[in-house]
Amino acid sequence: QSVLTQPPSASGTPGQRVTISCSGSTSNIGSNPVNWYQQLPGTAPKLLIYSNNQRPSGVPDRFSGSKSGSSASLAISGLQSEDEADYYCAAWGDSPNGVVFGGGTKVTVL
């Protein structure tokens, strides 16, 4: 059972917009910023979004993040086949201290 709650799956056709939710509590997302990670099949995860809505260098602007209260979301616009991956949200938990993850959302491009 993960501390943060994500839907197990999401899907869309190429070009569509897909949104993934991440729900937490006041002791994690409600207090601290959210980061998102993308894990392509057979590889290590990669930082996709940090501090709720910031993209590291090299991440396409098709990926965007937002946060409201104790929930956050990741949006992928103009979905592409190479976006097929698992996506994880994460945040720092204040009680007890530590990184907490969502269970992951598998995005399928139809």
Partner 1 sequence: QLQLQESGPGLVKPSETLSLTCTVSGGSITIASHYWGWIRQPPGKGLEWIGSIYYSGNTYYNASLKSRVTISVDTSKDQFSLELSSVTAADTAVYFCVRQVEYSLGYRAHIIDHWGQGTLVTVSS
Contacts to partner 1 by CB under 8 A:
2, 31-33, 35, 37, 44-47, 50-51, 56, 88, 90-92, 94, 96-104
Kindly provide the b/e burial profile for residues 59-71, where b requires at least 16 CB atoms within 10 angstroms of the residue's own CB: beeebbbebeebb
By C-beta, is 44 or 61 nearer to partner 1?
A: 44
**Structure letter (DSSP) for residue 50:** B
Measured from the CB atom, the residue of 2 and 64 that comes closer to partner 1 is 2
Tokens of 34: 């959210």
Cβ neighbourhood burial of 75 (10 Å; 0-12, 13-18, 19+): middle
Residue number, 13 or 68, with CB nearest to partner 1: 68
Name the minimum Å distance from CB 78 to partner 1.
25
In angstroms, what is the minimal distance from the CB of 96 to partner 1? Answer: 4
Beta carbon of residue 17, minimum distance to partner 1 (angstroms, whole number): 24
